């Protein structure tokens, strides 16, 4: 047996549950999430070093996608793959505003020229000590 006060509390509790179900039913359905393109790689934001005021497009998207660029030295068009971008931004801790500008052969040529000129400078500095 329940007292009138207890019955009233049970009725109010059932009404509250019913109102909550109706409120949830009236909520708009969440927007469908578009599927990620094939070959895209998810961004791990915890690995990024953010030094600017705004986030780049791949952060807003949530994944890296392959992007085309033209080499500044030879002009050849190449793809900067999503996996390469992930390595550059997350593993090598590259600047989030930077993008690929040179193809692999031009990078190798540029680096080998730097090391040769650096060795020549070191040798010349050693000879000046007379």
Q: Is residue 121 part of a domain?
A: yes
* pLDDT tens profile 100-128: 999 999 999 999 977 666 666 666 665 55
Range(s) of the domain holding residue 70: 41-127
* pLDDT tens profile 17-45: 999 999 988 988 877 777 888 889 998 88
Vertex 54 angle, CA 90 and 39, to 5°: 45
Q: What are phi and psi of 97, to 5 degrees?
A: -90, -10
Q: Is residue 18 part of a domain?
A: no
Q: Is residue 75 part of a domain?
A: yes
Distances (CA, A) of 68 to 14, 28, 58, 96, 115: 60, 39, 14, 17, 29
Q: CB of 63 within 8 A of CB of 40?
A: yes
How many independent structural domains does the chain possess?
1
């Amino acid at each position: 047996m329940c007292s009138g006060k207890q019955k009233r509390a049970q009725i109010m509790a059932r009404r509250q549950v019913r109102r909550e179900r109706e409120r949830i039913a009236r909520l708009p359905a969440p927007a469908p999430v578009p599927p990620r393109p094939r070959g895209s790689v998810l961004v791990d934001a915890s690995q990024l070093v953010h030094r600017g005021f705004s986030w780049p497009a791949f952060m807003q998207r949530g994944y890296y996608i392959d992007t085309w660029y033209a080499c500044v030295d030879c002009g050849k068009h190449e793809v900067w793959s999503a996996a390469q971008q992930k390595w550059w931004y997350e593993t090598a801790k590259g600047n989030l505003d930077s993008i690929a500008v040179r193809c692999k052969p031009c990078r190798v040529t540029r680096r080998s020229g730097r090391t040769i000129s650096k060795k020549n400078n070191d040798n010349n500095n050693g000879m000046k000590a007379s």
